[in-house]
Structure 1
Amino acid sequence: MRAKKRVLQGLALAFAALVAGCGGAQEAPETKKPKIAGIVFQEDQFFRLIQFGMQDAADRAGVELLLANSANKPDKEIQLVNTYIARGVDAIVISPLSAKASATALERARSKGIAVVTYNTTVEGDIPVSYVESDQADLGRQTGLVARRYIEEKLGGKAKIATLAFKSQLAEQSDARRNGFVDVVGQLPGVEFVAEQDAWLPEMAIKKAGDILTANPDVDIIWSANEGGTVGSVMAVKNAGKQGDVVVFGTDASEQLVEFALSDDGILQAITTQTPFELGVKSVELAVAALRGQQVEAKVVMDGVLIAREDPEGVRAFGQRMKELIALGNK
């Protein structure tokens, strides 16, 4: 705790040096804005909304935000962190690709007096001054409750379920979501999990889910751990002509998934999503607070939001909110 307090005190002094003028009697020098780097690792609506949230918080705090995407490439992530160290940023807000491999570069940043805030994923040790995450198990659990009710009411308590994950990308996060779903749905004695594949992008999921439906024609439900997998699962069911026979439950949200949840085909039943805009806002707010020497929580957990076909008004309201946030970010 003393070490973290010393880091915060040092950051506060650095922040004060940036925002305070030199105080000449004749002319005050131009105030230099603190710089915060915001790094995502994927180009999808989830991370775009995170970036929009980061920008909103940065604008309100009067800091300069530098945005970048590591494109799921560890080498590029290291390069970006090193570049921002060389550019003298005051804070780095990042969703690291690896708890272990990402730590070295971020420790180097911290050793240079740069505040590190992680979100969505984090690194080992006490490198970040704060970590913002969603309750990953709860994302699966909330959807699982709706799926369990669907199985009881529509399928007589019996179902064969296939799942799509992203274990080869982020194993801990993927497993937490799946375990949350399985723990709830698996309580029904008539439920059988018949297949699991790794597919987190739509084109991957269309093929993998399609292969599952071919190999297991009696599958009743597909659950997916993320947005791309959920989109691909819905498309695979459509492509197989199994509307009315197979339904999809999933995780995360996008405008496309909102449309799926309102469509007449009845395929997508429910998703539980993180709140990416708010995740981006909170991450930058914590970075700014740390730079100002304020005590920040070591870990902040944000609740997920359930979007279910059985509540069409709630789906529409969420979709409208998403459109407003996207419009705000595009200004």
Structure 2
Amino acid sequence: MRLLKASLLGLSVLASMSAAARAADDLVVGVTYLDAQGFYAGVRKGVQVGGTELGKNLQIIETNVAADVAKEASFIDRLVSAGAQVIVVSAVSPEGSVKAIKRANEAGVPVVCYNTCIREDDMKKYVYAYAVGDPFTFGYKIGQVAAADFEKAGKKEPKIAILNCEFVDVCVQRRKGFEKALGEKVPGYKIVANQEATILDKAITTGEKIITANPDIDAFWGESGGASLGAAKAIRNQGKAGTMVAYGSDMTTEIAQEIVAGDVMRATVDVSGQALGKLALTQAVNAVEKKPQGALIVPNPVDLYTSADQARAWLAAHPDGLP
């Protein structure tokens, strides 16, 4: 498997390649990542492994768009000009990402979304497939764990703080699922704070400020991996371990270790980045090979980790730390 990372040189090389010069098992694929956190490293590995399993020589042009619509649009346009055969994208914005994806589609380059995508009406027009772990189910599953814990503790009006990633719609859907589960079991719950904080350092400082302002919080929920780990560290830094808990999203080595420790992180919910990367690449190959389009939404499993044994098993299965 050959890998070609994003660069002006790589793009110019691709632009000089004719379709006839490519072997039947060659696949030139452009891939965007929404940020640099562990989940997207897992997606990257899944794409690479998926290529090997499918017998494809991958030439990957990739970049982290850093949740920047302008950067995403520029990169997609460059991919089209360079001759990428398919684009695999975690869209920055349901609205703002539409124009670039539309341009790719109209240029004859199929687009496959994963994890995040554009609005459903636009998806139907411009996207071949959307590989995703259902975000509402994602939030609902971890909300059920939290609700059961509150019920068991006799907390009818638990106070909860959220560190969110709601600049993307998928995280809004996660919260809706989370609150739906809470409302079914502990309808008196109160969200006392809901602030954006996906990068670890920001999540820690934001979490600490929330605790200072609301020292009687019962729990945090982090909507992403960085937010989850940041919430756990903020609780520990503020001396609240044992009296305040965290519920997580995504699975990483550090989050698994927190669950094993057992004093702060109660559970996490996860969509495997590697599995999602493989699934997205399979759809990309189908699109390039012009296979009939199936269901637009292609589901990926949503996994729940609630015990130290489950966390240890994850650690053993992921020695490289990639989710």
If the length of structure 2 is used for normalisation, what is the TM-score? 0.86
Instruction: Give how far 1:83 is off.
Output: 1.2
Q: Deviation digits for residues 6-64 of structure 1, max 9, x if unmatched?
A: xxxxxxxxxxx958x8xxxxxxx966823111111210110000010011112333132
> In structure 1, what is the equivalent of residue 286 of structure 2?
289
Larger Rg: 1
- Whether the 8 Å CA contact 1:18–1:34 is kept in 2: the answer is no
3-state SS of the aligned residue for 1:294? coil
Displacement of 1:186 in angstroms is 2.6
Q: Match for 2:30 among 37, 42, 51?
A: 37
* 8 A Cα contact 1:39 1:69, kept in partner: yes
1:119 aligns with 2:114: yes
Instruction: Report the count of equivalent residues.
Output: 298
Please state if 1:182 is matched with 2:175. Answer: no
SS at match of 2:35: coil
Q: Cα 1:31–1:131, aligned 2, differ >3 Å: closer, same or farther?
A: closer
Quick one: structure 1 residues 325 and 227, their matched pair in 2 at CA, closer, same or farther if it must change by over 3 Å? closer
2:256 matched residue in structure 1: 258
What corresponds to 1:320 in structure 2? 316
Query: Which residue of the partner structure matches residue 49 of structure 1?
Result: 42
Q: CA deviation at 1:127?
A: 0.6
Against the structure 1 CA distance between its residues 211 and 155, is the aligned structure 2 distance closer, same or farther, given a 3 Å change threshold?
Answer: farther
Which AA in structure 2 matches 1:192? K
SS at match of 2:318: helix
**Which amino acid in structure 2 is aligned with residue 184 of structure 1?**
A
Shift of 1:242: 0.7
Q: Mark the CA change 1:317 to 1:205 in structure 2 (over 3 Å): closer, same or farther.
A: same
2:232 to 231, 234, 253: 234
SS at match of 2:319: helix
CA distance in 2, matches of 1:35, 1:194: 48
Instruction: Answer yes or no: is the 8 Å Cα contact 2:253–2:321 preserved in 1.
Output: no
Unmatched runs of 5 consecutive residues or more in structure 2: 1-17
Is 1:93–1:284's contact at 8 Å kept on the other side of the alignment? yes
SS in structure 1 at match of 2:30: strand
CA-based RMSD? 2.1
Q: Is the 8 A contact 1:98 1:122 kept in 2?
A: yes
CA distance in structure 2 between the partners assigned to 1:31 and 1:152 by the alignment:
58
Stretch of structure 1 that moved more, 116-125 or 189-198: 189-198
Q: Which of 70, 74, 86 is the aligned partner of 1:79?
A: 74
Q: 1:192 to 1:98 in 2, by over 3 A?
A: closer
Q: Deviations over 1:119-146 (max 9, x none)?
A: 1111241211111111101111111111
Partner of 1:94: 89
